[in-house]
Amino acid sequence: MFAPPSPSAIAGDLQAQERLLSVTDLGVRYAVPGAGFGQPQRYFEVLDDITFDIARGETLGLVGESGSGKSTIGRALLRRIKLSSGRIDFEGRDITNLEGEEVRQLRKRMQLIFQDPYASLNPRMSVGELIAEPLIVHGLARNRDDARDRVLDLLDCVSLPRTTIDRHLHGFSGGQRQRIGIARALALQPAFIVADEPVSALDVSVRAQVINLMQDLQRSMGLSYLFIGHDLGVIRHISQRIAIIHSGRIIEIGDRDSIYQRPQHPYSRALLAAIPVPVPGGRVKSSVAAPAGSRVEVSRSLPGCRYRARCPVAIARCSEETPRLKQVTPTHAVACWQH
Ligand SMILES: Nc1ncnc2c1ncn2[C@@H]1O[C@H](COP(=O)(O)OP(=O)(O)OP(=O)(O)O)[C@@H](O)[C@H]1O
Ligand SMILES: [Mg+2]
């Protein structure tokens, strides 16, 4: 029988038993409104050919400029949006076409942490209610009292005082609110968390505490993270491997040190050359703005490399054919015709 291509061929050969998640040729597209009668529907390709693995207990950092598709990858993995192509395997099971109750059950194993927990949590609920809610929704506790011991344990896990249980969200600092968001995400004992810019809204000093907490939890619970970020310093600190996304495609992926020390793609080089110095006590300015130079974008419906209009080393082939990820070392792959 024909075997599907293994994403483990891409930058790092994970053994099947340690692979938690595999994404193969994932695509997401949205119909562009306004096609006239009789004209073909046009699509905006938000994600194209996305392929990667995440091992148990590993953090894969995902970095790229605004609009490149990072949150869409997170939403696709959690099966919150429709996929147009590709396949997702999680804990040894194909989850690509799960629906309804099966997707709901998946929530026990996969969770999301947002940038701004205040926006994502109901401010009228007490901290205890917020953390107990997933337990009640999934039938693991009958009511808030029933969940109380578990909620207290979770508050311990995220180093919040137990007295927090009866307080409401307002009055908590950004860092404390993020701890509450993390406790809520952990309530169902997931194996995998998509952390979508979880510290981007926090002050630098608090950022380090939340990152350290996430790392401690990872070690004690064996969690895997897809860590989406703008701050390249944070991404470097927390990730074992890093994927760089540009215009809906992963253009480079590899182990942290080779990505930071030997970036291969012209976009990655421009991105990593622009790492800003943090201002003491201040916020680090978004470090993943478009690299300096032309802001010309290439239409996502055209073939070829989407970075070519900005690329200093583009050749004719870059407009004709789309480069796919190619191994440059056993732990590093790049999608560029110059390699
Ligand atoms: N429902 C939708 N319909 C049409 N286009 C969408 C939809 N959702 C997202 N997009 C587009 O998909 C692209 C990727 O969006 P996404 O939110 O994944 O980017 P991002 O990398 O997370 O950006 P940021 O760093 O700003 O959070 C953007 O161009 C966005 O406008
Ligand atoms: Mg986003």
In this model, does residue 88 exceed pLDDT 90? yes
Q: Is the CB of 46 under 6 A from ligand 1?
A: yes
> In the chain, count of helices (H) and strands (E)?
11, 12
Q: Is the CB of 247 under 6 A from ligand 1?
A: no
Give the pLDDT score at 291: 56
Residue at 67 is within a domain: yes
Residue at 175 is within a domain: no
In this model, does residue 213 exceed pLDDT 50? yes
Residue at 179 is within a domain: no
Give the pLDDT score at 171: 84
Q: Which band of pLDDT confidence, cut at 50, 70 and 90, is reported for residue 339?
A: confident
Give the pLDDT score at 169: 85
Residue at 126 is within a domain: no
Residue at 171 is within a domain: no
**pLDDT tens digits, one per residue of 60-83:** 999 999 999 999 999 999 999 999
The structure tokens 């209610």 sit at 129
Q: Which band of pLDDT confidence, cut at 50, 70 and 90, is reported for residue 5?
A: very low
Looking at per-residue confidence, does 277 or 290 come out higher? 290
Domain that holds residue 58: 7-109+191-334
In this model, does residue 94 exceed pLDDT 70? yes
Residue at 86 is within a domain: yes
Q: 162: CA distance to ligand 2 center in Å?
A: 32
User: Of 219, 243, 187, 188, whose CA–CA distance to 26 is shortest?
Assistant: 243
Which ligand sits closest to the CA of 31?
1
In this model, does residue 187 exceed pLDDT 90? yes
Which ligand sits closest to the CA of 245?
1
Retrieve residue 335's tokens: 């999608």
Q: What is the average pLDDT score of the chain?
A: 88
Distance between CA atoms of 17 and 19, rounded to whole angstroms?
6
Which H, E and C letters describe 86-107, residue by residue? EEEEECCEECCCCCHHHHHHHC
Give the pLDDT score at 58: 96
In this model, does residue 28 exceed pLDDT 60? yes
Largest CA distance in the chain: 66
Residue at 12 is within a domain: yes
Residue at 69 is within a domain: yes
User: Of 92, 20, 29, 81, whose CA–CA distance to 52 is shortest?
Assistant: 20
Q: Which band of pLDDT confidence, cut at 50, 70 and 90, is reported for residue 193?
A: very high
SS3 for 71? Answer: helix
> For the chain, what is the domain count?
1
Q: Is the CB of 289 under 6 A from ligand 1?
A: no
In this model, does residue 4 exceed pLDDT 50? no
- Residue 297 CB neighbour total at 10 angstroms: 13
Q: Residue 105 maps to which CATH number?
A: 3.40.50.300
Q: Which band of pLDDT confidence, cut at 50, 70 and 90, is reported for residue 31?
A: confident
Give the pLDDT score at 285: 44
Q: Which band of pLDDT confidence, cut at 50, 70 and 90, is reported for residue 36?
A: confident
Q: Is the CB of 234 under 6 A from ligand 1?
A: no
**pLDDT tens digits, one per residue of 230-276:** 888 899 999 999 999 999 999 999 999 999 999 999 999 999 886 55
